[in-house]
């Protein structure tokens, strides 16, 4: 077999949960370390118009490096929400997304400003999503046909075109609680949101914890999509929100996922017992105004062990009080009888 190069280090975690974060990629075994900004690239462009976006690239290696730019297609797993970065170029944009300097050199520790040029065709579609890659122009190779692990960094790009027939629409596919009855908090909620339009949409919103559906004063408010994630057309995202403000509460104690019950007595006023309603309100902009979507579920918090313990204590107290009363009454009757005898 000939020499083979495996490229690793692509930023391919859960799609768009990290789209507002600058992510450096490192492959320590080959000395590859690059930082890019902005990451991701999110642009709205008019069809038939050319637009240039600056991408800053820092060489964090210890020597001067020569890099090359590239384009990669990616897909999204609807079940897990994970990015599946592909080896092929995105055929729908490769002819009109170019770079001012496809190959360039940067001294150690220095920044380079790359110009990304979008020559959007007049007949462009509604939205495009792809990855821009930065990698070594001359990858390190080992003798003897051994595999070399080489680093690359991928910057996700989301482009939407300002077409008059663009449709921005979100639907709440489902809203569930992981359990119907909780002994203690946290309570975990899963909100599935589908982009049923034809362009990218960024939802915002909250989950209101209430005693009843029509309560005017919520007990607590949880954020929905606090990271500012975008949803691609025909993609369903699952967003999790956790209600943790309670007494006592379970908390993670290790990487193994084991939980421990914490009793913070300063939170005693947050003891949760009974029936609750979680009302989710998600808002998106359809290009003209903000549109709300709503769903709600009910659930229970029943700390049965705590309630059982309190019942046992109450039973013991009641038993003790009854015993004292009976003993007192018995002594009183005996004294009354003795007095009558005299």
User: Residue 60 in 3-state DSSP?
Assistant: coil
- Same-domain check for residues 45 and 143: yes
Structure confidence by residue, pLDDT tens digits, 54-72: 999 999 999 999 999 999 9
Picking from 124, 104, 120, 139, the residue whose alpha carbon sits closest to that of residue 27 is: 139
Q: Is the pLDDT of residue 157 over 60?
A: yes
Handedness of CA 231, 233, 235, 241 (dihedral sign): positive
Picking from 14, 10, 12, the residue whose alpha carbon sits closest to that of residue 225 is: 14
- Same-domain check for residues 277 and 323: no
- Same-domain check for residues 182 and 152: no
Domain's final residue, options 128, 161, 194? 161
Average pLDDT, stretch 285-298? Answer: 94
E strands within 95-195?
97-99, 103-106, 111-119, 127-136, 148-161, 170-177, 181-182, 187-195
Residue 255, pLDDT score: 65
Picking from 40, 68, 236, the residue whose alpha carbon sits closest to that of residue 130 is: 40
Report the domain count for the chain. 3
Structure confidence by residue, pLDDT tens digits, 173-231: 999 999 999 999 999 999 999 999 999 999 999 999 999 999 989 999 999 998 888 89
Provide the domain limits for residue 53. 5-161
Its pTM stands at 0.76
Q: State the CATH number of the domain containing residue 195.
A: 2.60.40.10
- Same-domain check for residues 19 and 49: yes
Token couple for 247: 């007494």
- Same-domain check for residues 200 and 320: no
- Same-domain check for residues 136 and 17: yes
- Same-domain check for residues 134 and 253: no
**Residue percentage of the chain with pLDDT more than 90:** 63
- Same-domain check for residues 129 and 176: no
- Same-domain check for residues 177 and 147: no
- Same-domain check for residues 179 and 257: yes
Domain's final residue, options 104, 126, 161? 161
Query: Do the strands 187-195 and 65-72 form a parallel or antiparallel pair, or are they unpaired?
Result: unpaired
- Same-domain check for residues 250 and 174: yes
Is residue 70 within 8 A of residue 97, CB to CB? The reply is: no
Residue 167 per-residue DSSP state: -
Domain's final residue, options 140, 161, 182? 161
Picking from 277, 68, 241, the residue whose alpha carbon sits closest to that of residue 153 is: 68
- In whole angstroms, give the CA distance from residue 300 to residue 38: 44
Query: Do the strands 50-59 and 111-119 form a parallel or antiparallel pair, or are they unpaired?
Result: antiparallel
């Amino acid at each position: 077999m000939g020499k083979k190069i495996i490229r690793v280090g692509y930023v391919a975690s859960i799609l768009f949960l990290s789209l507002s974060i600058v992510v450096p990629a490192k492959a320590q075994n080959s000395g590859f370390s690059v930082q890019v900004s902005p990451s991701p690239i999110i642009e709205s462009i008019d069809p038939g118009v050319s637009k240039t976006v600056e991408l800053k690239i820092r060489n964090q290696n210890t020597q001067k490096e020569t890099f090359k730019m590239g384009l990669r297609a990616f897909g999204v797993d609807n079940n897990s929400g994970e990015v599946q970065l592909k080896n092929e170029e995105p055929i729908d944009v490769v002819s009109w997304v170019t770079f001012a300097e496809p190959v360039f050199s940067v001294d150690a520790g220095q920044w380079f400003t790359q110009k990304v040029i979008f020559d959007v065709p007049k007949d462009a579609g509604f939205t495009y999503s792809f990855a821009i890659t930065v990698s070594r122009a001359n990858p390190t190779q080992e003798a003897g046909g051994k595999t070399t692990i080489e680093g690359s960094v991928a910057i996700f790009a989301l482009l939407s075109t300002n077409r008059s027939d663009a449709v921005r629409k979100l639907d709440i596919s489902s809203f569930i609680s992981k359990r119907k009855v909780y002994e203690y908090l946290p309570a975990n909620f899963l909100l599935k949101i589908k982009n049923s339009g034809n362009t990218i949409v960024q939802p915002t919103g909250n989950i209101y914890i209430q005693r009843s559906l029509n309560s005017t004063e919520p007990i607590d408010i949880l954020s929905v999509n606090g990271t500012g994630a975008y949803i691609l057309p025909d993609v369903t995202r699952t967003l999790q929100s956790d209600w943790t403000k309670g007494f006592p509460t379970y908390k993670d104690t290790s990487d193994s996922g084991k939980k421990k019950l914490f009793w913070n007595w300063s939170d005693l006023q947050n003891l949760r017992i009974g029936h609750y309603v979680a009302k989710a309100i998600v808002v998106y902009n359809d290009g003209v105004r903000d549109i709300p979507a709503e769903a709600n579920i009910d659930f229970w918090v029943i700390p049965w062990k705590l309630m059982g313990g309190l019942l046992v204590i109450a039973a013991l107290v009641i038993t003790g009080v009854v015993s004292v009363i009976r003993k007192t009454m018995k002594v009183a009757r005996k004294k009354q009888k003795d007095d009558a005898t005299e």
